[in-house]
Amino acid sequence: MPDASAPAHPGQDMSQADRTAARPAEIEVGRLSKVFGTGTAAFRALDEVSVTVRQGEFFTLLGPSGCGKTTLLRLIAGFEQPSAGTLRIGGREVAGLGPNQRPVNTVFQNYALFPHMSVADNIGFGLRMLGRPRAEVAATAAEMLRLVRMEAMATRRPAEISGGQQQRVALARALAPRPRVLLLDEPLSALDLKLRKEMQTELKRLQTETGITFVFVTHDQEEALTMSDRIAVMSEGRILQTGTPEDIYNRPADRFVADFIGDTNFLQAEVLTVAEGTATVRLPGGASRTANLPAGMAPAAGDRVTVVVRPEHARLASESGDLSGRVERTVFFGTDTHVHLRLADGTAFTLRRQNMAAGVPAPSAGAEVSLALAEGALQMLRG
């Protein structure tokens, strides 16, 4: 680690966080709010959100529909003006500037390609509007067509190409003017699964090749985890947690984040002792283990808290383990098997077990088993 004095959480891989932390800020959002409507009909879509997106980052806004992620994107793009707060892009305050005055381009959910223009004219539109010479527009359009592998389609109309191809054209059109930031509003949601996987790789490649900052909006947690440098999880107009995919998955800060991303087991526990960044807690059944604390949380000894553990971070133990319970049912998933348990105190617990070629068969329903938790697997939740 380059900076030994940085308050690092033990057991956490900091390499990815460091990579982006070194870069200057691209978008600085400060206590940004957006209220739609007035009086009793007023709806607070965004509630004092603060976040910093760094240069060259693949940053994802993740949350269920109606959480405010698209509103935040539209505020950055300039389609909406904020009700309160500050918004800086590349160090410049952009409040009051229209979308055509911001160094930001958007890939729309339905692509919004101009139906009366050819693919090449669609891609060249931004540069033409910027008043670039004809030759430059044509050269850049050709380069963009190559970048998204659509050279053969240059003269087609949007209606004459497939959905996946329209997606590529929308990307090329938004990238052609070389914006500082590319905003992507659920661009993959209209594609079928196979195409979506393909475009995920494609998007990541484009981002690496162009070095442009991507702000990506999605409700798909898997998409967010596989593509992002950092993720901001949003709910009800607020950002609940910002961090690397590993951070968000392994160290969820609150119940919503833990529940929204992946499968999680929630356990009631009691705090025994508190150290820096960690606390020792008593689990249901009496075993005491170390749990990681979310940033800024300082529980006191004796507090009743909730801790979470991912299903794949627990294993069946032959010796007496950290938890014990009775198997209720097992579900076979091919690569792994989910074992659903009921702990002694009545809490439901699921454990995920990889199916080895010559593995021990999964326990049958009704068996009494012991569980061992992996090192660093316990994470305490706020509130």
Partner 1 sequence: MAVRDLPLPTDAADAAARAEAPQATAERHGWKWLLCAPALAILLFAASGPLLIVLVYSFLTPAGFGGVIWEFSLEGWFRVFMTRDIFDPDQVGPNRANLAIFWRSVSLAFQTTLICAVLGFPTAWFIATRSPRSRPIWLFLITIPFWTNLLIRTFAIQEVIRNQGLINTLLLKAGVIEAPIQMMYTDFAILIGMAYVFLPLMVLPLYAAMDKLDIRLLEAGYDLYASRWAVLRHIVLPLVKPGFIAGSILVFIPAIGAYVTPRILGGGRNMMLGNLIELQFGQGRNWPLGAALAMTLLIIVVAALVLYLRHVGREDEGRRHG
Which chain residues interact with partner 1 by CB under 8 A? 77-79, 98-100, 104-106, 108, 110, 112-118, 121, 125-126, 129-130, 155, 157, 173-174, 177
Q: Which is nearer to partner 1, 74 or 382 (CB)?
A: 74
Q: Which is nearer to partner 1, 110 or 273 (CB)?
A: 110
Q: Which is nearer to partner 1, 11 or 98 (CB)?
A: 98
CA distance 38 to 152: 51
CB of 29 to partner 1, least distance (A): 19
CB of 126 to partner 1, least distance (A): 4
Continuous H helices in 130-232: 134-147, 163-175, 193-210, 221-227
Q: Are strands 368-373 and 314-317 parallel, antiparallel or unpaired?
A: antiparallel
Q: Which is nearer to partner 1, 23 or 128 (CB)?
A: 128
Q: Which is nearer to partner 1, 89 or 233 (CB)?
A: 89
Three-state DSSP at 76 gives helix
CA distance 19 to 1: 11
Query: Which two structure tokens, joined as six digits, stand for 358?
Result: 């010559």
Question: 10 Cβ partners below 8 Å, 6+ apart?
Answer: 277, 278, 376
Q: Which is nearer to partner 1, 118 or 292 (CB)?
A: 118
For residues 373, 379, 380 and 383, what is the CA-based torsion angle, rounded to 10 degrees? -130
CB of 132 to partner 1, least distance (A): 10
Query: Which two structure tokens, joined as six digits, stand for 262?
Result: 């992946």
DSSP result, 262-324: S--EEEEEEEEEE-SSEEEEEPTTS-EEEEEPPTT----TT-EEEEEE-GGGEEEESS--SEE
CA distance 347 to 291: 18
CB of 237 to partner 1, least distance (A): 22
CA distance 69 to 238: 9
CB of 114 to partner 1, least distance (A): 6
CB of 71 to partner 1, least distance (A): 14
Q: Which is nearer to partner 1, 119 or 261 (CB)?
A: 119
Question: 359 Cβ partners below 8 Å, 6+ apart?
Answer: none
CB of 45 to partner 1, least distance (A): 17
